[in-house]
Amino acid sequence: MNTRSAPRPIRRSLGRPEGATGEDTRNRLLNIAAILFAKDGYADVSVADIAGEAGITAAAVYHYYRSKDELFIETVCNMYDEIALAFTDAATVGGTWRESVSEVLNACTKLYREDSVLQRLGVVAAVKASQAPETYKRVSRARDRISDVFVQIMKKAVEDGEFPKNTDPELTGDLLSHLILSGMSSATHRRKSQREFKRLVLAFRLLLNIDDGR
């Protein structure tokens, strides 16, 4: 999901647009679905809406995804994989746990400010997963990969003596993950300007006693 701006409607075709590969079309559908689900929520977006933005018929969408649910799940998991990769890369830069979390906050800031789709889609995904946990187990597992980044930070912190030996890294890492991601997602709905967002990140740093690493 690299293209985040709203796509321009193109001429609708029965199959994939001329010159596009199957992979191109699949990625385009994921990008468009992410934008629409984030903007309008799950219930108010239809397969026909996504198909129309992609320039193909709804029937052609079903060549790639068997249902709206499957397309939604793939879209959300793709998003979580993107976040997990960015956070993993960031966490390896730091030394202490605070330095690692600081780098993750830097990555989070970049992802969320350059891509407002992520924060809105994350809220939609959390609601759907809570409403039907069995249906969206794959979404929950993908979300857990993000939590695991923080769990690994905490495990290293315990091994390095930064936390007491009886610290539960699974629990503390999961709590830290939810504090940052859920807090960032919900708070930015009310703090949309760049200035307000910077204040939000600063509040996280003060709360965790973490500087910006600069």
User: How much is the average pLDDT of 20-28?
Assistant: 82
Q: Among 60-69, 104-113, 129-138, 163-172, whose mean pLDDT is lowest?
A: 104-113
Compute the distance between CA of residue 101 and CA of residue 210 in angstroms, rounded to an integer.
Answer: 8
CA neighbours closer than 13 Å in the CB half-sphere of residue 185: 17
User: How much is the average pLDDT of 63-78?
Assistant: 95
Compute the distance between CA of residue 41 and CA of residue 62 in angstroms, rounded to an integer.
Answer: 20
- pLDDT at residue 187 is higher than 70: no
Fold of 1-65: Arc Repressor Mutant, subunit A (1.10.10)
CATH class belonging to 69-208 = mainly alpha
- pLDDT at residue 5 is higher than 50: no
Question: What six digits make up the tokens of 102?
Answer: 């600081």
- The DSSP H or E segment spanning 86 is helix 68-91
107-129 pLDDT per residue, tens = 887 887 666 788 788 888 988 98
**Type of residue found at 24:** D
Compute the distance between CA of residue 51 and CA of residue 129 in angstroms, rounded to an integer.
Answer: 24
Identify the sign of the CA torsion 137, 142, 146, 149. positive
**Count of Cβ atoms closer than 10 Å to residue 35 Cβ:** 23
Core vs surface per residue 108-140: b (16+ CB within 10 A) or e: bbebbeebbbbbbbbbbbbebbeeeeeebeebe
Numbered ranges of CATH 1.10.357.10 in the chain: 69-208
- pLDDT at residue 202 is higher than 90: no
Give pLDDT, residue 191. Answer: 60
Compute the distance between CA of residue 24 and CA of residue 11 in angstroms, rounded to an integer.
Answer: 16
DSSP secondary structure code for residue 66 in this structure: S
Global pTM reads: 0.80
User: How much is the average pLDDT of 85-114?
Assistant: 87
Of the candidates 115, 86, 135, the one whose C-alpha atom is nearest the C-alpha of residue 188 is 115
Q: Among 11-25, 73-87, 116-130, 159-173, whose mean pLDDT is lowest?
A: 11-25
Q: In whole angstroms, how large is the CA radius of gyration of the chain?
A: 19
Q: Is 56 helix (H, G, I), strand (E, B) or coil?
A: strand
Q: Mean pLDDT over all residues of the chain?
A: 84
Pair 146, 87: CB distance under 8 Å = yes
Tell me which of 166 and 186 has the higher pLDDT.
166
Numbered ranges of CATH 1.10.10.60 in the chain: 1-65
- pLDDT at residue 12 is higher than 50: no
